[in-house]
């Protein structure tokens, strides 16, 4: 989803972006990155540690994992109507389109209904596929597997979910090859895109109506003084919620800037980094100080999702868990790579401490956690209002991925109690959640890597 521009950008500043040599040497790089350094608010970690860890250790391995068959196919319903307002307008540009996969191109093991993960269930590929979603289970299944499917169904509909997940059994749900439908600039912007983000920020980030976020369209701005005074005064959970959404927004904008349509002719379409687009979204002057804050929130999002990966390791380490596609040798190889990534995530030296969340009075903490969950679930529903189908695809995937990360962080006790073998009734992840979790973190990891590229480009602007 594209975000609206900063609005009211003076001509002189636009010339700074477009005309080489207007800025003094190194000034362009400093204006985007000078504040994006050192320790992050509410964290003990620093930006430089994340850059080194991500760019040289984790990113290359994660990229390899996400190119595998198991992680490249995601089932999504892009035809769900917007639940919040009547809006039949869709992006008509060709780059907004999503090409679903023909059924015979999806690996057999994924297509045959192996959405859950006990070893027995994976060995009974087709038998679960026809089970009705609310618990009518195929009589041909063993008693143990039948009970497991019922447990999984109850789990999927449980109150622990942070997302409004698509019904993958719906006739409108289709598999999409994520590698063939990459997230990049589509031209979707302006009022329609602004309406989505405005609804997310204004109605779902715990913010009172009289506190206006910085650079809100058509409103006076006091440099963010009132907003940040409010943000500093709220509890750590509500502050974290805003920073997660801001970080996700920043990550999406980095992707759009890094994979911009630079050339579109009859003979060639060329995608690449658009420095002007990046600066409009993150330059300190053009965004009136907001750009560097957005980038710091991206790093905060990175820490949250990395922490979730480190916590969920026991779920994937169990011998009965398989990344099932039907290609046995590749499945074993990819599980080994997945475990390598999770062990690497666990080894990160400066993890976010989620124990500060929902501490104190148990009754008040439980109420706040439920509000937190419902607000995020509402945001996942807003993704069905995005008019650009490619933006909708990646918005749904990334919100489901972040929602899965939050579910993991708040299920630590259940994960610790999991048996080494057999179904885990207390904590489960569907294949959809697994694919979304790793691809969403892959998007954030890519954003951190792309920042290094933009930093180098801006340093070399002369």
Q: In 10 A of CB 211, how many CB atoms?
A: 13
Query: Per-residue DSSP letters for 36-84?
Result: S-SBPTT-S-BHHHHHHHIIIIIHHHHHHHHTSHHHHEEEE-TTPPPSS
Q: In 10 A of CB 197, how many CB atoms?
A: 18
Nearest to 292 by CA among 231, 238, 194, 224: 224
CB 226 within 8 A of CB 212: yes
**Dist CA 223 CA 389 (whole Å):** 34
Q: In 10 A of CB 302, how many CB atoms?
A: 24
Q: Is 249 known to sit in a ligand binding site? A: yes
CB 393 within 8 A of CB 184: no
**Dist CA 257 CA 261 (whole Å):** 9
Query: Per-residue DSSP letters for 120-177?
Result: HHHHSTTTTTTS-TTS---TTS-HHHHHHHHHHHHHHTSTT--S----TTSTT-EEEE
**Dist CA 56 CA 191 (whole Å):** 39
Q: Is 343 known to sit in a ligand binding site? A: no
CB proximity list for 61: less than 8 A, separation 6 or greater: 337, 340, 341, 344
Q: Is 184 known to sit in a ligand binding site? A: yes
* Alpha-carbon dihedral angle through residues 199, 4, 100, 149, given to the nearest 10 degrees: -30
Q: Is 239 known to sit in a ligand binding site? A: no
For residue 264, what is the DSSP state? E
Active site residues: 388, 391
CB 367 within 8 A of CB 66: no
In the annotated binding site for FAD, the residues are 184, 186, 197, 246, 249, 281
In the annotated binding site, the residues are 184, 186, 197, 246, 249, 281
């Amino acid at each position: 989803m594209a975000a609206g521009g900063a609005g009211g950008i003076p001509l002189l500043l636009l010339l700074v972006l477009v005309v080489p040599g207007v800025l003094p040497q190194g000034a362009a790089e400093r204006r985007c990155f000078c504040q994006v350094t050192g320790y992050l608010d509410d964290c003990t970690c620093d930006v430089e540690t994340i850059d080194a860890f991500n760019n040289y250790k984790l990113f290359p391995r994660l990229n390899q994992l996400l190119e595998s068959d198991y992680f490249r196919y995601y089932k999504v319903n892009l035809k769900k109507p917007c639940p919040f307002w009547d809006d039949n307008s869709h992006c008509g540009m060709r780059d907004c389109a999503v090409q679903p996969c023909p059924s015979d191109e999806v690996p057999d093991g994924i297509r045959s209904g192996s959405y859950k993960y006990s070893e027995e269930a994976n060995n009974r590929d087709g038998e679960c596929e026809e089970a009705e979603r609310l618990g009518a289970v195929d009589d041909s299944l063993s008693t143990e597997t039948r009970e497991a499917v019922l447990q999984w169904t109850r789990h999927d509909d449980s109150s622990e979910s942070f997302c409004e997940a698509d019904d993958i059994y719906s006739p409108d749900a289709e598999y999409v090859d994520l590698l063939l439908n990459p997230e990049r600039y589509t031209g979707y912007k302006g009022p329609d895109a602004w309406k989505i983000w405005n609804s997310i920020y204004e109605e779902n980030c715990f913010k009172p109506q009289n506190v206006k976020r910085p650079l809100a369209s058509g409103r006076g701005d006091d440099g963010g003084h009132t907003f940040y005074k409010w943000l500093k005064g709220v509890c750590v959970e509500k502050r974290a919620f805003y920073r997660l959404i801001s970080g996700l927004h920043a990550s999406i904008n980095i992707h759009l800037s890094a994979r911009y349509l630079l050339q579109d002719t009859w003979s060639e379409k060329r995608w690449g980094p658009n420095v002007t687009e990046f600066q409009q979204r993150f330059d300190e002057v053009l965004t009136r100080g907001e750009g560097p804050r957005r980038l710091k929130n991206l790093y905060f999002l990175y820490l949250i999702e990395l922490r979730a990966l480190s916590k969920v390791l026991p779920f994937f380490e169990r011998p009965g868990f398989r990344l099932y596609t039907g290609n046995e040798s590749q499945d074993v190889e990819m599980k080994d790579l997945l475990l390598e990534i999770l062990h690497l995530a666990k080894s990160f030296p400066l993890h976010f401490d989620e124990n500060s969340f929902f501490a104190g009075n148990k009754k008040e903490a439980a109420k706040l956690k439920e509000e937190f969950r419902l607000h995020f679930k509402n945001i996942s529903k807003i993704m069905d209002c995005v008019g650009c189908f490619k933006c909708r695809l990646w918005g749904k995937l990334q919100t489901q991925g972040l929602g899965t990360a939050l579910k993991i962080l708040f299920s630590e006790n259940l994960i610790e109690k999991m048996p080494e073998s057999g179904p885990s009734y207390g904590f489960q992840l569907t294949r959809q959640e697994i694919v979304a979790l790793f691809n969403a973190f892959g998007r954030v990891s890519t954003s951190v890597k792309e920042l290094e590229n933009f930093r180098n480009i801006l340093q070399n602007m002369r």
